[in-house]
Amino acid sequence: MPTNDHGTPSDIQPVEAKAVSYSGIGGPEVISIATRTVRPPAAGEVRLRVQAAAVNPTDVAWRDPGRPDGHWPLTPGMDAAGVVEAVGPGVSRLAVGDQVMAAVMPARPEGGAQATYIVVPEVSVVPIPAATTITEAATLPMNGLTALYALENAGLSKGQVLAVSGGAGLLAHYAIAIANRRGITVVADAKPEEHDLVRGYGATVVVTRSDDFAGAVREQFPDGADALLDTALLGERGFGALRDGGVYLPVRGWAKESERGIQVKPVWVSKVLDRTDWLEQLRGWVEDGTIKLRVAAEFPLSEVAAAQQVLSAGGLRGRPVLTL
């Protein structure tokens, strides 16, 4: 039988998969588990047997309130971890049997990560970190890439100040840890009982979470922060934390005016899902302890609605993960 360089049959067949499916925009009633056929990988692609897929706020946002780039029915999920099951022509970095993690875009016609088999560009896939479980690895790719893209947009140098709202959350954790590693001063907010947790992420200063995030930051840094990563979706209420000409980094887009020369640079992770080098960096930072992965709870694929409900209730310090 003809094979490619990795010994995989060249006539790879389609496989049947179970996948989370949204029938349209709406509440949990639009969620179902569907059966679909997953094609063989094309040139530069791999097919994964997904064993874990993280549940993120963006998964809920695809159906509620909905996004204009959705294809219905839509399979959500931007984080997957599992095993390479087949490789397409030209794939050289990965082989069948490798344990890997991947960043996936649900807007594509084939949908996102929450399916038992998916086809992904090789550039969006790297081996999982050493001494890490598949379930833990599923919490890293999308939020890790988001944190790196936010910091690239911020353009901060060693000693400059990054403010992070929602400091105890997962995206905040990754951004704080990476910024601290780069010598950036980080001020973040948290509930009093979570101050030590956020300091453990690498925050230089932790202020108590309140309705006046900007005021709390200014008490510590009277001139204002150089950039604000707004994971708590404060919007204009966060501008006061920034110096004139500072950088505001929203994670849900932006269509409004700014003030005082503040530069608004939305963090669209879809633009960097092909950054293999960043995924490799993230893997290394887990291995050296810079980033600590946290699974908040595990759910079978059939209980995706319950996983989303737990996530939306707030207060998690990690991510729910679907185990497939």
pLDDT tens-digit series, residues 274-319: 999 999 999 999 999 999 999 999 999 999 999 999 999 988 889 9
Interatomic CA distance for residues 103 and 112, integer angstroms: 9
User: Dihedral through CA 128, CA 130, CA 135, CA 138, nearest 10?
Assistant: -30
The answer to whether 286 and 140 have CB atoms below 8 angstroms apart is yes
In the block, which residue shows the tokens 């599992």? 82
Interatomic CA distance for residues 136 and 101, integer angstroms: 10
Say which amino acid occupies 275: R
Question: Would you call 31 helix, strand, or coil by DSSP?
Answer: strand
User: What is each CA distance from 143 to 37, 58, 85, 109, in whole angstroms?
Assistant: 28, 11, 25, 22
Consecutive 10-residue runs of the chain (324 residues): their mean pLDDT?
A: 46 95 96 97 98 97 89 95 97 97 95 98 98 98 98 98 97 98 98 96 97 98 98 95 98 86 96 98 98 96 97 91 96
In the block, which residue shows the tokens 């084939």? 110
Output the pTM of the full model.
0.94
pLDDT tens-digit series, residues 2-12: 444 444 455 79
H/E stretch holding 151: helix 141-154
